[in-house]
Structure 1
Amino acid sequence: MINYNVDTDGIATITWDMPNRTMNVLNEGSIQAYAEALQKALKDDKVKGVILTSGKDSFIAGADLDMLLNADTSDAVKLTDQFSQLQKLFRSQETGGKPIVAAINGTALGGGFEICLASHYRIAAANPKTRVGQPEVKLGLLPGAGGTQRIPRLIGVMNAAPILLEGKDQTVDQAKGLGLIHEVVPAGELLPRAKAWLMAENKETVVPAYAGKSGKPIDSRAVQPWDKPGFKTPGFPGGQVWSPPGVQTFIGGNAMIAGKTNGVYPAPRAIMSCVYEGLQLPFDTALKVETRYFVSLLRGPVARSMIRTLFFGLQEANKLARRPKGVAKQEYKKIGVLGAGLMGAGIATVSVQAGLDIVLVDRDQAAADKGKAHIADELGKLAKRGRLTPDKVEAMLGKVTATPDFGALKGCDLVIEAVFENRDVKAEATKKAEAALDPKAVFASNTSTLPITGLAEASSRPDHFIGLHFFSPVEKMPLVEIIVGKKTSPETLARSMDFVQKIRKTPIVVNDSRGFFTSRVCGAFITEGHRLLKEGVPAPMIENCARFAGMPVGPLSLNDEVAIDLSWKIMDQTKRDAEAAGQKYEGSGADDVLELMVKKLERFGRKNGKGFYDYPADGKKRLWPDLGKHFPADPRWLYGEGDEKRAKEDEIRKRLLYVQAVDTARCLEGNVLTDPQDGDVGSIMGLGFAPQTGGAISLIDQVGVREFVSECDELARKYGKQFEVPKLLRDMAAKGESFYGKRTAKAA
């Protein structure tokens, strides 16, 4: 794991190179091996200095998250002792009396960057792809090996805030500009430059603060800034937290955290507390504070849920874990897109960015050209940000053919239909496209709700027909929901997953049903917002409770974005299909809200500037002032203080989350979803479902299946059948089972 070498000049090089891994990580084995190599260097009188580097393309990717996820968190004292060992190791590194250089040859994140921060000098190889930083907050944790203490002491609290509180990584040049890295050199000069710094004569000595009054002076290069007498934290007069700028910084920081997280993420608050408390304490004591906050987060449900879904779940999805075996990988060169509206043009945009030739088809040349203009506009935005050159933009646009001619689809490996959400319109587009396609080409529908098996009836080769449900705006939304029809072949599924990976999106695979998974659960969230509105809950209360539950927007705002008239059309189509099949249509209990907004008031959402919100010319949307006239507030929701008011808000938050979780569980029971992890990844990446929960299924585990069932039974009694749990959950509750653990409670 660790290679150790001492040259004739007395320079020890410790090289991280873990076998059978593409990246180095911090785990029990590698930490132990590194500790042994470090102590060997520090105790060897022949060693004058130490270089830390990596034998891989990256430096160190951070802590082994599998180790964190599976850590025994039952004993807080034991856990604190376990994780304080890394703090002690890094502290011994910087107080060992010998200068240590981190030769950063590639990306160093999390604990991988903290080992660099605990070095006395940091040199990075010039590489625009290299990133350094502390991303732990994105997984519900904080830097647990000194990051919250060293970074503010190096660059000040204000500069440290985006790195620690938002997990923003830095290029090596940005890090150098901040003062986190001392030098950036060509890759071939990295190790020679590190050795040159160590070999340079330095007559300046200092007695480290940790050595006490009787300590002997040592090479000042082997002493960290915070260990030198008289050190002051930069950015504050006298380095004092309680200086006026310091007080202002932390007041503003707390306000920023509250505004951005709505209080649902514990990690940013813990990080701010670490920094605030730590800067008032001796450095070694500050590290103990950091460890305690780290352990408290690791023992809580948020970090474990976020790690499981946002790291392992995403990793599995992006590696195509659900891809059918034995199917050769599809290499794409040319695809077609039917429909040049915002969705179709968005699909074309991300596809041409992936290097594909695009045939963009619409009803006439003007409509097709409008779609290509959208592509040009999106690529132009990237050029303005410096992410594309003008020449690259022109080259990409040259790969897009906008036309009303379906014959131009000849030679396409895949065609994606993104036309109007109407069964007849889609059937016509399917037949016209297939007339020009190679028999082996894949045909995909971007429908958001219509069952794929039914749409495939218009196809002459339904085994090559599949659903690829993109989310708007396509350029920003990372998820693609792949829907398998009854006749879709495993080969078609595999080839479709290859395409999603090619355009750098995250796929989840679901089986066919009306609304599939994401649209169905999205509809449950929106409809519960409608029910609350009908019950007399003020619209601002609905929207704010959703955000304070962790949702990015409220159900009314979301309905405006997806279009209220689209919701009405889906409801109307569902009703027609039920009647055509001789079945009784059961409404949601809030169909009349859609009827009022669309048919009587002609408020379709953002698309026509009128929905539950108004969209004035200044761009600042606001709730429609007359909404209260059509949906008057019930006094019982308006009055109350303290615990009574909080109880009402808690119940609204619970309803908005639980209605989605129940429907996700129904999708699992009905085999629409085949794995809980797809439900979690899909709910967060596609719907923005409260990320602090780890997803709609993880929420049930967080609450506890038995408790969740009990609470849903009460909600169903009070508010309706939308909260009735499936048999799957009742059986799990009776057995004391959970989705991600064999047993969570004593069986009933």
Structure 2
Amino acid sequence: MITTERQGNVLVIVSNNPPVNALGQKVRQGLLAGIEAAAADASIDAVVIRCDGTTFFAGADITEFGKPPMGPDLNKVINLFEDSRKPVIAAIHGTALGGGLEVALACHYRVAVPSARLGLPEVKLGLIPGAGGTQRLPRVVGVAAALPMVVGGDPINAKKAAEIGLVDRVVSEGKLPEEAVAFAREVVGKPLPVSSRRTDRLADAVKDPAVFDNFRREQGRKLRGFEAPEAAIQAVKAAVELPFDAGMARERELFLKLMAGDQSKAQRHLFFAERAANKIENLGPGTPLIPINKVGILGAGTMGGGIAMNFLSAGIPVTLLEREQAPLDRGIATIAKNYERLAQRGSLTPEKVEAAMALITPTLSFESLADCDLVIEAVFENMDIKKEVFTKLDAVVKQGAILASNTSYLNVDEIAAMTKRPEFVLGLHFFSPANIMRLLEVVRGAKTLQSVLATAMALSRKINKIAVVSGVCYGFIGNRMLSPRQREAQKLILEGAKPWDVDRVLTDFGFPMGPFQMADLAGLDIGWSKEASKSSTVREVLCERDRRGQKTGKGFYDYDENRRGTPSAEVEEIIAGFIVQSGKPPRAIDDQEILERLLYPMVNEGAKILEEGMAQRASDIDVVWINGYGWPVFTGGPMFWADTIGLAKIVEGLKRHAALLGPEFSLSKLLEDKAAQGGRFNG
């Protein structure tokens, strides 16, 4: 796992701990032995730390979290690097993340190849660095450069790292071992730069301590609700205000508090949940995959174009089909515009944009899809239309190709039955905007082949999606659970709650928006027909009055020119009229009831999904809701959140509200049984 090799007067300590050279106990022990051996050997003048495989140390061994610690402690190991009287050089390729960057920071020098990325992503697990990252990084690069890395958690590239002083030299790709050794020989005999003893880069923050409050204010929206980012700011501030040892103690104190807290447990749960979602029941690792070399997409609208971009960006040719030339041209133009924005932001090079656009073939002919290996329909959400489309596809597309529906609600088995190859049909439910949202619900039909399912899961990784398998049911996992929440939101406003109070309760909980804000954003007239409208619901009346959401400047809210919404007196008047019609007087509804009425039925529906086998595991449901619907990450998802507050509390609340929840509500037996047994959905 850890080996050493001599190259003249340089000792090279090499880690080979696939897949990511995690800093587990055996690796730490090997590093300790290596640096001690270098210290004891008078013929060794310098030390290089590097890794075999695809990456430098990519972080701590997360499987050790929550278990009794096993020595040596990482701090002990890296303190020996820093205290070495012989220069220690970190040779970085791949990623140096978390504990990996903390190892590099304790080395006297860092060299990296251009493709390397360096970062401290612990905040994404609800933690902060625990081995000196918050103390050494600002001493090396300054507070202004350190804060985004520690608080945001996103890695930076080698070029940026060199610009801020984190990397001492960027070396040739593919020549890291020899160039790192050559660099080590250059610095032999020079004064050693020890990170923990530096104070020069802290001077700006000492002069202007407002840098921390300014950063909080600038990042406020991103950090809202999360505990770890604030702890990270406090830790970096300690690096400025306290001696190194006291700062380390403060870092440790903050780290341990977060480690024991619910938010970190939730975020660590999500980390493992996203990886578990790839493990499919009865689907072995040797399941043969169907080669996908060309993809066809029906529909060049917002959804179809977004879906196309996923494959184009992954280097997979796309044939894009529309019925008429004008919408086809608009779709191609929108894709080009989206790519231009990515290039302007620096997310893609102009060359990559050009390469992606070169892979798209626009067409008005169904026959152009004949040689595609996968065809995805993204047409109007209407069963009759989808049945007609699949009948045509079955007749045109080559045998052995996969046919997929991007339906959000409809029965995939009913769609598959229109073909002579139902075993090659499944649902691929992308979320809008499809080129940005990472969630993909893969809907397994009753006859879907194992190889078809395995191909869809492998392809999802290639196009950078987090895929979750669902069975066939109305709305699958996400939209099925959304339905009871939306239903209760509508009931609440007819009982006396204001739409903005309902929204506020959910945004205070951590959602980016509430149900009425979401409706205004999407457009209240989706599925509404002026000819069929009968003023029978609040939504119908709003649409009849041309209050159709943000696009018309008014919906449930009134909007200004910047699309900022404010409560609407007209909407209050409309709702009041419906309350009068109901014959029931409005009542005061407190925030706790609103929260329970909105979220407890969702947990109940999630439990039913598990009972019916529509989701493989509770954590899959959490992955869907966090990645597709904005459920706050720091709660771990609806099912983990239910575990955290207690299933008995959920059941008690549902029974208390049963009369208001109406005849459509029934309590999940799985939820009731687990609550009675003191059980949990997740582990």
* TM-score normalized with structure 1 length: 0.83
Query: 1:664-683 maps to which residues of 2 (within 5 A)?
Result: 664-683=606-625
Match of 1:612 among 547, 556, 570: 556
In structure 2, C-alpha distance between the alignment counterparts of 1:561 and 1:459, rounded to whole Å: 37
The residue that corresponds to 2:13 in the other structure is 14
SS in 2 for 1:469: strand
In structure 2, C-alpha distance between the alignment counterparts of 1:148 and 1:715, rounded to whole Å: 47
SS in 2 for 1:565: coil
SS in 1 for 2:156: coil
Alpha carbons of structure 1 residues 306 and 554: separation in structure 2 relative to 1, 3 Å: same
In structure 2, C-alpha distance between the alignment counterparts of 1:328 and 1:682, rounded to whole Å: 26
Instruction: Show structure 2 runs of 5+ residues with no match.
Output: 580-584
Match of 1:595 among 531, 540, 545: 540
The residue that corresponds to 2:4 in the other structure is 4
Kindly provide the CA deviation profile for residues 2-42 of structure 1, in whole angstroms up to 9, marking residues without a partner as x.
11234442x32211122xx2220111221122122222223
SS in 2 for 1:474: coil
**2:625 is matched by which residue type in structure 1?**
S
Q: 160-169 vs 322-331, which deviates more?
A: 322-331
**2:680 is matched by which residue type in structure 1?**
S
Aligned residue-pair number = 672
Match of 2:230 among 256, 269, 279: 269
SS in 2 for 1:220: coil
In structure 2, C-alpha distance between the alignment counterparts of 1:723 and 1:610, rounded to whole Å: 33
In structure 2, C-alpha distance between the alignment counterparts of 1:676 and 1:557, rounded to whole Å: 28
Cα drift, residue 103 of structure 1? 1.6
Cα drift, residue 677 of structure 1? 2.2
The residue that corresponds to 2:202 in the other structure is 234
In structure 1, C-alpha distance between the alignment counterparts of 2:447 and 2:39, rounded to whole Å: 66
Is residue 87–residue 188 contact of structure 2 (8 Å, CA) maintained in 1?
no
**1:143 is matched by which residue type in structure 2?**
P
Answer yes or no: is 1:115 the counterpart of 2:76.
no
Cα drift, residue 177 of structure 1? 0.7
Cα drift, residue 531 of structure 1? 3.2
The residue that corresponds to 1:206 in the other structure is none
**1:475 is matched by which residue type in structure 2?**
N
In structure 1, C-alpha distance between the alignment counterparts of 2:437 and 2:384, rounded to whole Å: 28
In structure 2, C-alpha distance between the alignment counterparts of 1:105 and 1:399, rounded to whole Å: 31
The residue that corresponds to 1:415 in the other structure is 375
In structure 2, C-alpha distance between the alignment counterparts of 1:180 and 1:527, rounded to whole Å: 53
Cα drift, residue 506 of structure 1? 1.9
Alpha carbons of structure 1 residues 16 and 394: separation in structure 2 relative to 1, 3 Å: closer
Kindly provide the CA deviation profile for residues 321-364 of structure 1, in whole angstroms up to 9, marking residues without a partner as x.
87566542111122221222111121122222222332222222
Kindly provide the CA deviation profile for residues 240-293 of structure 1, in whole angstroms up to 9, marking residues without a partner as x.
3xx5x20x222233444543233x211112112222234322211211211121
Is residue 140–residue 166 contact of structure 2 (8 Å, CA) maintained in 1?
yes
Percent identity of equivalent pairs: 35
Alpha carbons of structure 1 residues 635 and 535: separation in structure 2 relative to 1, 3 Å: closer
Answer yes or no: is 1:86 the counterpart of 2:30.
no
SS in 1 for 2:537: helix
Is residue 86–residue 188 contact of structure 2 (8 Å, CA) maintained in 1?
no
**1:261 is matched by which residue type in structure 2?**
L
Alpha carbons of structure 1 residues 442 and 605: separation in structure 2 relative to 1, 3 Å: farther
Query: 1:175-574 maps to which residues of 2 (within 5 A)?
Result: 175-187=161-173, 190-200=176-186, 220-221=191-192, 223-227=193-197, 231-236=199-204, 240=206, 243=207, 245-246=208-209, 248-256=210-218, 258-262=220-224, 264-309=225-270, 311-317=271-277, 323=283, 327-390=287-350, 392-566=352-526
Kindly provide the CA deviation profile for residues 560-607 of structure 1, in whole angstroms up to 9, marking residues without a partner as x.
3444334769xx9xxxxxxxxxxxxxxxxx983333334x33444346
Cα drift, residue 83 of structure 1? 9.0
Q: 144-153 vs 486-495, which deviates more?
A: 486-495
SS in 1 for 2:372: coil
Is residue 481–residue 602 contact of structure 2 (8 Å, CA) maintained in 1?
yes
In structure 1, C-alpha distance between the alignment counterparts of 2:636 and 2:4, rounded to whole Å: 41
The residue that corresponds to 2:582 in the other structure is none
Match of 2:153 among 164, 167, 183: 167
Answer yes or no: is 1:60 the counterpart of 2:57.
yes
Match of 1:709 among 643, 647, 651: 651
In structure 2, C-alpha distance between the alignment counterparts of 1:83 and 1:269, rounded to whole Å: 30
Cα drift, residue 111 of structure 1? 0.3
Is residue 659–residue 722 contact of structure 1 (8 Å, CA) maintained in 2?
no
Alpha carbons of structure 1 residues 188 and 344: separation in structure 2 relative to 1, 3 Å: closer
Kindly provide the CA deviation profile for residues 702-741 of structure 1, in whole angstroms up to 9, marking residues without a partner as x.
1232333234433446665788641101111222222233
**2:227 is matched by which residue type in structure 1?**
P
In structure 2, C-alpha distance between the alignment counterparts of 1:49 and 1:183, rounded to whole Å: 17
In structure 2, C-alpha distance between the alignment counterparts of 1:171 and 1:493, rounded to whole Å: 35
In structure 1, C-alpha distance between the alignment counterparts of 2:174 and 2:317, rounded to whole Å: 38
Alpha carbons of structure 1 residues 201 and 259: separation in structure 2 relative to 1, 3 Å: closer
In structure 2, C-alpha distance between the alignment counterparts of 1:485 and 1:462, rounded to whole Å: 8
In structure 1, C-alpha distance between the alignment counterparts of 2:450 and 2:176, rounded to whole Å: 49
Alpha carbons of structure 1 residues 437 and 279: separation in structure 2 relative to 1, 3 Å: same
In structure 2, C-alpha distance between the alignment counterparts of 1:56 and 1:322, rounded to whole Å: 31
In structure 2, C-alpha distance between the alignment counterparts of 1:654 and 1:131, rounded to whole Å: 43
SS in 2 for 1:36: helix
Kindly provide the CA deviation profile for residues 349-405 of structure 1, in whole angstroms up to 9, marking residues without a partner as x.
222222233222222222222222222222222333344454554443343232332
Query: 1:660-699 maps to which residues of 2 (within 5 A)?
Result: 660-699=602-641
**2:172 is matched by which residue type in structure 1?**
P
SS in 1 for 2:404: strand
In structure 2, C-alpha distance between the alignment counterparts of 1:293 and 1:722, rounded to whole Å: 47
Is residue 334–residue 356 contact of structure 1 (8 Å, CA) maintained in 2?
yes
SS in 2 for 1:151: helix
SS in 1 for 2:457: helix
Alpha carbons of structure 1 residues 154 and 617: separation in structure 2 relative to 1, 3 Å: same
In structure 1, C-alpha distance between the alignment counterparts of 2:229 and 2:47, rounded to whole Å: 35
SS in 1 for 2:33: helix
Is residue 128–residue 232 contact of structure 2 (8 Å, CA) maintained in 1?
yes
The residue that corresponds to 1:48 in the other structure is 45
Cα drift, residue 185 of structure 1? 1.6
Alpha carbons of structure 1 residues 413 and 98: separation in structure 2 relative to 1, 3 Å: same
In structure 1, C-alpha distance between the alignment counterparts of 2:570 and 2:229, rounded to whole Å: 38
The residue that corresponds to 2:24 in the other structure is 27
**2:5 is matched by which residue type in structure 1?**
N
Alpha carbons of structure 1 residues 621 and 371: separation in structure 2 relative to 1, 3 Å: farther
**1:683 is matched by which residue type in structure 2?**
W
SS in 1 for 2:469: strand
Answer yes or no: is 1:151 the counterpart of 2:147.
no
In structure 2, C-alpha distance between the alignment counterparts of 1:736 and 1:667, rounded to whole Å: 20
In structure 1, C-alpha distance between the alignment counterparts of 2:36 and 2:621, rounded to whole Å: 47
Cα drift, residue 147 of structure 1? 0.8
Alpha carbons of structure 1 residues 530 and 159: separation in structure 2 relative to 1, 3 Å: farther
In structure 2, C-alpha distance between the alignment counterparts of 1:495 and 1:670, rounded to whole Å: 25
Is residue 298–residue 321 contact of structure 2 (8 Å, CA) maintained in 1?
yes
In structure 2, C-alpha distance between the alignment counterparts of 1:31 and 1:111, rounded to whole Å: 11
Kindly provide the CA deviation profile for residues 25-73 of structure 1, in whole angstroms up to 9, marking residues without a partner as x.
11122112212222222344443322211122211010111111x425x
Cα drift, residue 113 of structure 1? 0.5
Is residue 387–residue 418 contact of structure 2 (8 Å, CA) maintained in 1?
yes
